[in-house]
Amino acid sequence: MKTGRDLLRDALLNRGTAYTAGERLRLGLTGLLPPSVETIDVQVRRVLDQVYAKHSNLDKYLHLSAVQDENETLFYRTLTQHLEELLPFAYTPTVGEACLQWSHLYLRPRGLYLSERERGRFAALLEQWQPRDVRVIVVTDGSRILGLGDLGANGMGIPIGKLVLYSACAGIHPRQCLPVMLDVGTNNERLLSDRCYLGVRERRLQGPAYDAMLEEFVVSAQKIFPGVLIQFEDFSTGNAFQLLERYRGRACVFNDDIQGTGAMGLAGLLAAQRVTGRRMDEERVLFVGAGNANIGIGSQIIAALMRAGLDAHEARQRCRFIDSTGLVVTSRHDLAEHKRAYAHAVRFTSDLPEIVQAFRPTVLIGATGKPGLFTREALNALARHTEHPVIYALSNPTANAECTAEEAYAHTDGGAIFATGSPFAPVTVYGRLRLTGQANNAFIFPGVGLGVLASGAWHVTDRMFIAAAETLAAQVTADELAAGAIFPSAARLREVAVPIAAAVAQVAYEHDLATEPSPADVAAFIGMHRYAPVYPQESLGEELEPTPA
């Protein structure tokens, strides 16, 4: 049993000023803490006061990270009680700024860094990890962090942040979460020349050496943590698709950028149809950007079109993709493998308004990292053919969004149904206040992970993501739709994770993928077994005499 300063240094156990007088005496804490004994709610109030005393979003992020490093229960209590207001500082968009400066901000280790130098010892290093009951790993190689590109080891902020959402939203215990950075080098010249850069100062591994490193990691993780769920995060497009195909049948894995984003995108469209009145087989979708996110959304929407009665060819005809060169067409010889299935035998052009005018989409989805790409001309062309176009500007952080909320509404005569990857403030359109729904994967992957773990599923399937999308769409309230949002408010992230988890678990039970017995009420069972950020009952007893705030 830890006591004294060792106890206060353990973020998973530390309760800070909430220890009672008797606990302080028994655990060797007398004199190590201020004399006041406080409730966790008083501690939360102090954290909020300190966060809002900071002048920049990055300083707010750093303070929350410091609380997490000192007292995880307090960190998660604060976050879960104030999800909507704190999420922009705890994760997107501020995590992007933190990753850009990661090597200069570094104070304390969190997570596991594995590089080629440790090859042959991955299993041993994973086995040394404490605590040992890891159930979820989020892993990246830092090659495509948000819309910021190759950040190498600086990308560790993403696995850490994703796992924060697993605990805050899904209720998976922090001790069961492991962030991993596979440091395979970087091709970012700025980082390679940065004297403070913390990663391997070499060019990125490629080919067989890269594949061997990933293989050792996945095999070792399965061996040391049997049944562990591995989430691939922010890998470059080519590697992301290859890794997903290589391991999806061999391990309990998924790629959030492809499958999580795909389910999120489909969910928003399904919710929007409650406003537009359109059927799925009436939608025409133009994707600007042909990377992980849009290909993931496209595959989910095509599957939904086929479920609506279209054959595979007809479903694909309803979707067009534009990449950095222009329209994805069959006459091009430069298409990567993952794009070829979405190429069409039409005339090539790179002019977005012209493509919109010719294709007449009902849905416009951007995931390019290029701010302002959705110009007045493109949005005007969209509105000419569709009374209520659905527009996603998904690029993170906020500054990279393809258009702003004001632009989306102004250039579609107020008819747009708009969602973004990062939060936007409400705007007034023709005298009416409109909310901007945040198309955030945080609505999908925590619930998917929770459902997989609750059912003991040994495989993550596309059908699970379809179930997650349909469930999320159903969670959007009539009031939220009326206000212009096609996703629930961020304040409801923890609430909506349970029905999503139940839907995912139900798929596992129905398709013989579960290793855990099916409870009579799946949602109730899942809700009862989620991590709740509270101190042990002993700290709530008679000895506690809180000091007035």
**Local structure of 289: helix, strand or coil:** coil
Alpha-carbon gap, residue 355 to 353, rounded angstroms: 5
Asked whether the CA dihedral 251, 256, 261, 264 is positive or negative, the reply is: positive
**Local structure of 40: helix, strand or coil:** helix
Instruction: Count CA within 13 A, CB hemisphere, residue 204.
Output: 20
Tokens of 517: 């017995």
Instruction: Count CA within 13 A, CB hemisphere, residue 238.
Output: 7
∠ CA 532-497-508 to the nearest 5 degrees?
110
Exposed, middle or buried: residue 428 (CB in 10 Å: 0-12, 13-18, 19+)?
Answer: exposed
Alpha-carbon gap, residue 482 to 491, rounded angstroms: 18
Alpha-carbon gap, residue 48 to 90, rounded angstroms: 13
Neighbours of 433 (CB within 10 A): 10
Peptide bond into 88 cis (omega under 30): no
So which residues are the catalytic ones? Answer: 91, 162
Alpha-carbon gap, residue 521 to 502, rounded angstroms: 9
Q: Which helix (H) or strand (E) holds 191?
A: helix 189-192
Alpha-carbon gap, residue 112 to 76, rounded angstroms: 21
Q: Which helix (H) or strand (E) holds 326?
A: none
Alpha-carbon gap, residue 413 to 411, rounded angstroms: 6
Sheet containing strand 363-366, strands side by side: 319-322, 285-288, 363-366, 390-393, 417-420, 437-438
Alpha-carbon gap, residue 452 to 450, rounded angstroms: 5
